[in-house]
Amino acid sequence: MDELKRKISFNVNDEQVSLEVDIRTSLLEVLRNELHLTGVKQGCGVGECGACTVLIDGEPIDSCIYLAIWADGKTITTVEGLAKNGKLSKVQEAYVNEGAIQCGFCTPGLVLTTTALVEKGEQLTDEEIKREISGHFCRCTGYQKIFMAVKKVLEDK
Amino acid sequence: MSYRVIGKEVKRVDAVNKVTGKAKFTDDFFERDMLIGKVLRSPYAHAKIKNINVDKAKALEGVVEVLTYKDLPNIKYATAGHPYSLDPKHRDVADRTILTDKARHVGDSIAIVIAKDELIAEKALKLIEVDYEVLPFVLDPEKAMEPGAPIIHDDRPNNVISSVGQEFGNVDEDFKNADYVFTGEYETSVVQHCHLENHTAYAYMENDRIVIVSSTQIPHIARRIVAEALGLPWGKVRVIKPYIGGGFGNKQEVIVEPMVAAMTLAVNGRPVRYTMTREESFIATRTRHAMKFYMKTAVTKDHKLQAIHIKAISNNGAYASHGHSIIMSAISKFRPLYNFKSFKAEPKTVYTNLPSAGAMRGYGVPQIFFALESHLDDIAKKLNIDPIEFRMNNVIQAGHVDPISKLTVRTFGIPECIKKGKELIKWDEKQELYKNQTGEKRRGLGMACFSYFSGTYPVCLEVAGCRIAMNQDGSVQLMLGATEIGQGADTVFTQMAAEAIGIPVDMVHIISTQDTDVAPFDTGAYASRQTYITGAAVKQAAIEVKKQVLEIASRKTGLKVENLDIVDGKIIEVGLNRLICDISEIALEAFYDRIDSKPITSDTSVNVRTNAIAYGVSFAEVEVDMLTGQIEVLHLINVHDSGTIINPILAEGQVHGGVSMSLGAALSERLMFDERTGAPLNNNLLDYKLQTIMDTPNIEAHFVELPDPTGAFGQKSLGENPTISPAPAVRNAVLDATGVAFNKIPMNPQSVFEKFKEEGLL
Amino acid sequence: MFDIKQVYEPMCLKSALEIYQNNPHLTIIAGGTDVLINLRHGKYEEVELLSLQKIKGLDEIKILEDGTIEIGALTTFTKIFRNDIINKHVPILAEAAVSMGGPQIRNIATIGGNICNGAVSADSAPALFTLNALLYLETANASRTIPITEFYAGPGRVKLQPGEILTKILITKDNYENFKGKYFKFSNRKAMDIAMIGVAVLLNTTDNKVNDLRIALGVSAPTPIRCQEAEKTSLGLELTEENMKRISELTILDAKPRDSWRGSKAYREHLIKVLTYRALRELRGNK
């Protein structure tokens, strides 16, 4: 059974973590089941919905189709790592203020993709904003207020 | 009426929890020794199980138990999330067991594996040996009613679940005397809810009771149905509902809960979790009924609607679920909008070997309005009259009483909605602009109206409970059986309680989790009922709390209760506007007065026996690529008459989401099945064309606020309403742009191409 | 959990090639967006993976001395889409790259994986076909170069030898200089979708007369294809309205789309013609 285990270390939300993971698990499973970072959601398990998005070295990635062992040496941000000292990040605030949240299941992933956009700091047209967040399905909001939240936080920067 | 909190853009009470990842959904709870359940699903659309052997699966290391229909009580139950009825004739069709000995659709539940992990459970599923006797199957409801069609349930040999209809007036007479008679056929497809969180639940036992944590819209109903399915006393089941990742009606069904209950029972109460995959969710939960309408309408020379005769067929799939209720809802809720002298509806709800259709946002009403509003545009085109004037010429007025339901329309905002929408989309200006187009891309405008109910009265019971307990600091705990499913219910209830008591919103602590052991009785989130029905309960409980506070204040000050009020958490003397004390002082007295101590609390229930008809319109502007068949919605405006808007930002959110769901149904969404096998073709989010942000146009939400006297704060329904009229508005805009009448949705590029070919445009 | 038995994670290409040579039954995994999805759908059992994730240096895009553009096989679609060399010299490939999946998928899916899985809908293929891209394939002790147009063997099948890994994609200067290109991906959605039809057109003209025209199609045959007949006929033709229509019509001589629930043969043929015409019209500009 031991050949199925591999020791990895990575940085998650500014904390260094070392643990033995099963080579068969996805990063999503390790984040949720081992580290209890349950803000990472599973909506499809095959990279079609974006609910499981986390930032790996700053890039949005679907953690459901990312082997946990690949996280070795990486820096990972989940939604739990965004608020600092109890204060919401600018992106989180924009989602709250614009009313961009309904059921909340797609929210963590979207907030992370938005965070990556803000950190890249590029000027984006409306079409480009939409393209950059098009890897997230939301069935509640019709995307209107999500778009406004992203636009706002990119403009406010 | 001026309010301090109602009608204000109060931020969602759960927003911070959700945006930080702290909000806990069903899968976010971990139990020691948790096992994983998986379900073996039928590969055949219709097949009898001759033999089933689970020995190899059971022998696999890590497998704890394997269940088939032989291991479970042979009790038929119904899964629809309706209130129980004391009248047996008014109950849902009980036609399924937890596991079946006869598969009735691809995806039917055959066996359960309970194992240590998901991978082992999946391997064990492959080791179950099932000997099927494959039967002929039928997917088309019209074929299902033909003599000699495969019989899906023995007690309904013609596959018709029900064909009860409704009528008033004398349609035959009116058609005989009609100046014009128009007919049309309209059809909608199978679509699915696609809430981002799949169906999921886990269960364990505490002593001899089963505890189920589930992603459900209807915890109290779920408790009853689980008990029914397993033959247990209802009190032996406890259902807990945490945050849920969307439902849209699909979690107004009790689907996974009886399964996890059976699983934990089979392993001596150990916790077992069952989470559906997305692929399973598409075929093993519910869908929206595909419906076909044959409309026949009599119109006078001066363009007055006279008679309407609707024949409709609703494809229910393999099990009844909500069954005929859905098409009955359609033929009832569309009525209080246009004046018809006579009306006759002959709907049939039919079993086929498709996955079961059930409740989905709008409950049959989006389908009938697609037919009706398309039909009205087709009539207007044939009569060469303006479609808006045609509608305005025929709408009812406030005071209208429906001849069958006897419901009274107290407020009717359609004329204002139309006026506003027409201006916003620049109807007249653009109509002129888009005349005589010949290019590769053509634009057009369309609109459609709808009516909808607030809750289910008079068909079903509308009961809601509310409990409020005041804390020592004057803040309150608000406890409800009604559920937050993303729509913002917790926030509007918080606003209502704050408004009616007279305290700030942040002094209301709502308990978002419903636990049937402690939550007041309420049937849950469906039928756009909660703001209207539960809202009445919240107001009543809040008034009771306020009364208790003021009585203590009166005792303390010697002033009369009538001269006291609570404003923003302060007790004041009315008229003088004199501050007496903070509410916390009263709360402390209530808790700790050595003689009169009696903490302030109210525990109430309402039985609402009214309904408020809500209205709205959609205006759409489209651009059609005449060569590729792609339809792009450039702009979509919904204007709603939902009475008083409790929270504009949440209300807009409801409209945006509902419109987007309707645009999906209009343009891209369709769950497809292989006609040769009955197997689903696109039961995943790659192939089922849910719209992305790039496909979604600018959606505008507007409101015409006419307070309804029966709403506790003047409110009417809103949740489902936005899903009704966008699809026909888009269809009518396409008609305007191209001259082609699409009578079937979705109008995806492939079907537009075929239709253009048929019409000789390509 | 995925049904995986073993994962090899070599740190360099050399060691990857050696492991593969000794274990040709291994399944190569790069970005994982195909392999892991297939695993989730139960298409493999107890699979043994050779992961290329930790290999450095195979994700670079550069111009060699002779002007050849070299793209490492592990380059992600995001990187291709954002890369200056690509956008300057072969923007058609950037268009193709950004049309694939959604951002999260593009952030990890590799161009090498997209080519080697042999999908008829591979978004990179039509553009690379028009560019006459060359594939550089390596084993532990040999290497070879093969045109991408000869690499596909059938749906989901490519001509990789045992132990062979695609390491680079090359586009020579004569295949991009003086060309303008357009890629149309036709799908039901504007993002997160697979192509119903992909049409790539690469054009080199003088005074609106065709010197070289290349038309490649995805999802139009068992493999991505070039429209030989249309291309041949176009040589020397002036891009008049009539000629553009004629060229577009001729694509059908090579295209063999099939009927499926995703789209009918008739519709696909129609789209191929319409989209080829539109690409030509756009590339020609206002004449």
**Mean per-residue pLDDT over chain B, rounded:** 98
Whether B161 is covered by a domain: the verdict is no
Instruction: Identify all chain C residues contacting A62, using CB atoms and an 8 Å cutoff.
Output: 104-105, 108
Q: How confident is the model at residue B263 (pLDDT cuts 50, 70, 90)?
A: very high
Q: Cβ A139–B661 below 8 Å, yes or no?
A: yes
* Position A45 pLDDT exceeds 90: yes
| The pair of three-digit structure tokens given for residue B109, joined into one six-digit string | 């539940």
Architecture per CATH, domain C61-175, reads as 2-Layer Sandwich (3.30)
Smallest CA–CA separation between A72 and chain B, in Å?
23
Instruction: Identify all chain C residues contacting B689, using CB atoms and an 8 Å cutoff.
Output: 188-189, 193
Q: Are residues A76 and A51 in the same domain?
A: yes
Smallest CA–CA separation between B686 and chain C, in Å?
6
Q: Are residues A69 and A98 in the same domain?
A: no
Q: How many CB atoms lie within 10 A of CB B285?
A: 24
DSSP string, B98-130: SS-SEE-STT-EEEEEEESSHHHHHHHHHH-EE
Q: Are residues A58 and A117 in the same domain?
A: no
Give bridge partners of residue B632 from the DSSP assignment: B623
* Position B346 pLDDT exceeds 90: yes
**For residue B746, is the peptide bond before it cis, meaning its omega torsion is within 30 degrees of 0?**
yes
pLDDT in tens, B603-629: 999 999 999 999 999 999 999 999 999
Do B691 and B632 meet the contact criterion of CB atoms below 8 Å apart? no
**What's the mean pLDDT in B317-341?**
98
Q: Cβ B628–C186 below 8 Å, yes or no?
A: yes
Distance between CA atoms of residues C98 and C83, nearest Å = 12
**Which of B556, B586, B607 represents a domain boundary (last residue)?**
B607
Nearest to B196 among A32, A88, A139 (CB): A139
CATH number for the domain harbouring residue B751: 3.30.365.10
Report H helices in C109-193.
111-116, 125-130
Residue B490 touches chain A, beta carbons under 8 Å: no
Q: Are residues A96 and A140 in the same domain?
A: yes
Our count of domains for chain B comes to 3
Q: Are residues A95 and A143 in the same domain?
A: yes
Q: Which of B378, B300, B399, B313 minimizes the C-alpha distance to B340? A: B300
Q: At what angle do helices C241-250 and C265-284 cross, to 10 degrees?
A: 140
Q: Which of B687, B682, B683, B690 minimizes the C-alpha distance to B284? A: B683
Instruction: Identify all chain B residues contacting C190, using CB atoms and an 8 Å cutoff.
Output: 692, 694-695
CA within 13 Å, CB half, C122: 35
Distance between CA atoms of residues B251 and B168, nearest Å = 35
Given a contact as 3+ CB pairs under 8 Å, which chains touch A?
B, C
Q: Are residues B229 and B315 in the same domain?
A: no
pLDDT in tens, B675-727: 999 999 999 999 999 999 999 999 999 999 999 999 999 999 999 999 999 99
Q: Are residues B469 and B440 in the same domain?
A: no
The residue behind tokens 């009306």 is: B343
Given a contact as 3+ CB pairs under 8 Å, which chains touch C?
A, B
Q: What pLDDT is attached to residue B2? A: 87
Instruction: Identify all chain B residues contacting C263, using CB atoms and an 8 Å cutoff.
Output: 750
Smallest CA–CA separation between C127 and chain A, in Å?
21
Residue of A21, A24, A122, A132 to mutate when probing chain C, most C C-beta within 10 A? A24
Distance between CA atoms of residues B257 and B217, nearest Å = 12
Instruction: Identify all chain C residues contacting A66, using CB atoms and an 8 Å cutoff.
Output: 32, 36, 108
Do B645 and B705 meet the contact criterion of CB atoms below 8 Å apart? yes
Distance between CA atoms of residues C18 and B67, nearest Å = 48
Give bridge partners of residue A11 from the DSSP assignment: A16, A75
Residue B385 touches chain A, beta carbons under 8 Å: no
Q: Are residues A75 and A116 in the same domain?
A: no
Whether B281 is covered by a domain: the verdict is no
* Position B426 pLDDT exceeds 60: yes
Contacts of A38 (CB under 8 A, 6+ apart): A32, B21, B24, B25, B27, B28
Q: Are residues A23 and A75 in the same domain?
A: yes
Residue numbers of chain C with a pLDDT score lower than 50? none
| The pair of three-digit structure tokens given for residue B587, joined into one six-digit string | 């709360």
Distance between CA atoms of residues B190 and B188, nearest Å = 7
| The pair of three-digit structure tokens given for residue B577, joined into one six-digit string | 């506007």
CB pairs under 8 A between A and B: 167
- β-strand pairing of C143-147 with C134-138: antiparallel
- β-strand pairing of C157-158 with C69-72: unpaired
Query: Which helix H or strand E contains B446, and what residues bound it?
Result: strand B441-452
- β-strand pairing of B272-275 with B200-206: antiparallel
Residue A1: exposure state from Cβ atoms within 10 A (0-12, 13-18, ≥19): exposed
Whether B4 is covered by a domain: the verdict is no
The residue behind tokens 């915890």 is: B219
Give bridge partners of residue B615 from the DSSP assignment: B451, B641
User: Residue B134: helix, strand or coil by DSSP?
Assistant: strand
**Which of A81, A107, A138 represents a domain boundary (last residue)?**
A81
* Position A148 pLDDT exceeds 60: yes
Q: Cβ C51–A67 below 8 Å, yes or no?
A: yes
Q: Are residues B409 and B490 in the same domain?
A: no
Share of residues in chain B with pLDDT > 70 (%): 100
Task: Return the C-alpha torsion angle B282, B284, B288, B292, nearest 10.
Answer: 110
Whether B280 is covered by a domain: the verdict is no
What separation, in Å, do the N-terminal and C-terminal C-alpha atoms of chain B show? 58
Distance between CA atoms of residues C37 and A46, nearest Å = 5
Share of residues in chain B with pLDDT > 90 (%): 99
Q: What pLDDT is attached to residue B184? A: 98
Q: Which of C10, C12, C53, C110 minimizes the C-alpha distance to A68? A: C53
**What's the mean pLDDT in B592-596?**
96
pLDDT in tens, B195-254: 999 999 999 999 999 999 999 999 999 999 999 999 999 999 999 999 999 999 999 999
Distance between CA atoms of residues C287 and C280, nearest Å = 12
Looking at domain C180-284, its CATH class is alpha beta
Distance between CA atoms of residues C92 and C70, nearest Å = 16
| The pair of three-digit structure tokens given for residue B164, joined into one six-digit string | 């009860």
Q: Are residues A31 and A51 in the same domain?
A: yes
Distance between CA atoms of residues B343 and B337, nearest Å = 13
Query: For residue B327, what is the DSSP state?
Result: H
User: Residue B757: helix, strand or coil by DSSP?
Assistant: helix
* Position B759 pLDDT exceeds 60: yes
What is the ipTM for the molecules in this complex? 0.98
Question: Residue A21 phi/psi, 5° resolution?
Answer: -120, 155
The residue behind tokens 């070039």 is: C226
Whether B185 is covered by a domain: the verdict is no
Nearest to C53 among A70, A113, A135 (CB): A70
Q: Cβ A25–C6 below 8 Å, yes or no?
A: no
Q: Are residues B566 and B624 in the same domain?
A: no
Q: How many CB atoms lie within 10 A of CB B55?
A: 10
Whether B486 is covered by a domain: the verdict is yes
Q: What pLDDT is attached to residue A54? A: 98
Distance between CA atoms of residues B513 and C279, nearest Å = 56
Note down the domain range covering A70.
Answer: 2-81
| The pair of three-digit structure tokens given for residue B539, joined into one six-digit string | 């107001």
Given a contact as 3+ CB pairs under 8 Å, which chains touch B?
A, C
Distance between CA atoms of residues B352 and C99, nearest Å = 39
Nearest to C1 among A24, A47, A62 (CB): A24
Chain B residues with at least one Cβ partner in C under 8 Å: 117-119, 122-123, 627-629, 668, 672, 674, 681-682, 685-687, 689, 691-695, 748-750, 753-754, 757, 762
**Which of A18, A47, A81 represents a domain boundary (last residue)?**
A81
* Position B25 pLDDT exceeds 70: yes
Distance between CA atoms of residues A47 and A31, nearest Å = 16
CATH number for the domain harbouring residue A46: 3.10.20.30
Q: Cβ A47–C103 below 8 Å, yes or no?
A: no
DSSP string, C50-98: EE-TT--SSS-EEE-TTS-EEEETT-BHHHHHH-HHHHHH-HHHHHHHH
Instruction: Identify all chain C residues contacting B674, using CB atoms and an 8 Å cutoff.
Output: 261
Entry field: residues in chain B: 762
Q: Are residues B341 and B375 in the same domain?
A: yes
Do C218 and C122 meet the contact criterion of CB atoms below 8 Å apart? yes
Do B365 and B658 meet the contact criterion of CB atoms below 8 Å apart? no
Instruction: Identify all chain C residues contacting B672, using CB atoms and an 8 Å cutoff.
Output: 261
Distance between CA atoms of residues B344 and C83, nearest Å = 65
Instruction: Identify all chain C residues contacting A27, using CB atoms and an 8 Å cutoff.
Output: none
Report H helices in B558-667.
583-592, 648-667
The residue behind tokens 């025209």 is: C213
Q: What pLDDT is attached to residue B1? A: 66
Smallest CA–CA separation between B608 and chain C, in Å?
44
What residue spans define the domains of chain C?
Answer: 4-51, 61-175, 180-284
**Which of A42, A57, A81 represents a domain boundary (last residue)?**
A81
Query: Which helix H or strand E contains B48, and what residues bound it?
Result: strand B47-53
CATH number for the domain harbouring residue B68: 3.90.1170.50
**Which of B209, B241, B275 represents a domain boundary (last residue)?**
B275
Q: Are residues B335 and B416 in the same domain?
A: yes
Q: What pLDDT is attached to residue A157? A: 64
Q: Are residues A13 and A72 in the same domain?
A: yes
Instruction: Write out the E strands in B337-403.
Output: 342-351
Distance between CA atoms of residues B253 and A124, nearest Å = 43
Our count of domains for chain A comes to 2
Q: Are residues B258 and B295 in the same domain?
A: no
Distance between CA atoms of residues C42 and C45, nearest Å = 7
**Mean per-residue pLDDT over chain A, rounded:** 97
Residue B95 touches chain A, beta carbons under 8 Å: no
Residue type, C122: A
Q: What pLDDT is attached to residue A112? A: 98
Q: Are residues B622 and B600 in the same domain?
A: no
Chain A residues with at least one Cβ partner in C under 8 Å: 3, 6, 22-26, 29, 45-48, 50, 53, 59-62, 65-67, 69-70, 113, 131-137
Smallest CA–CA separation between C33 and chain A, in Å?
7
**Burial readout A54-84 (b: 16 or more C-beta within 10 A, e: otherwise):** bbbeebbbbbbbbbbbbbbebebbbbbbbbe
Q: What pLDDT is attached to residue B81? A: 96
Do C153 and C159 meet the contact criterion of CB atoms below 8 Å apart? yes
Residue of C40, C105, C197, C261 to mutate when probing chain B, most B C-beta within 10 A? C261
List the single residue in A with minimal CA-CA distance to C29.
A67
Smallest CA–CA separation between B247 and chain A, in Å?
9
Q: Cβ C1–A136 below 8 Å, yes or no?
A: no
Q: Are residues B416 and B395 in the same domain?
A: yes
User: Residue B506: helix, strand or coil by DSSP?
Assistant: helix
Instruction: Identify all chain B residues contacting A140, using CB atoms and an 8 Å cutoff.
Output: 246, 486, 653, 657
Do B248 and B195 meet the contact criterion of CB atoms below 8 Å apart? yes
List Cα–Cα distances, B67 to B131, B260, B553, in angstroms.
16, 12, 62
Do C103 and C78 meet the contact criterion of CB atoms below 8 Å apart? yes
* Position B94 pLDDT exceeds 80: yes
Smallest CA–CA separation between B122 and chain C, in Å?
9
**For residue B157, is the peptide bond before it cis, meaning its omega torsion is within 30 degrees of 0?**
no
Q: Cβ B278–A45 below 8 Å, yes or no?
A: yes
Distance between CA atoms of residues A68 and B373, nearest Å = 52
Note down the domain range covering B40.
Answer: 31-135+199-275
Q: Cβ B653–A102 below 8 Å, yes or no?
A: yes
Query: For residue A87, what is the DSSP state?
Result: B
Instruction: Identify all chain C residues contacting A110, using CB atoms and an 8 Å cutoff.
Output: none
Instruction: Identify all chain A residues contacting C194, using CB atoms and an 8 Å cutoff.
Output: none
Query: For residue B598, what is the DSSP state?
Result: -
Residue B529 touches chain A, beta carbons under 8 Å: no
List the single residue in B with minimal CA-CA distance to A136.
B692
DSSP string, B542-581: HHHHHHHHHHHHHHHH---GGGEEEETTEEEETTTTEEEE
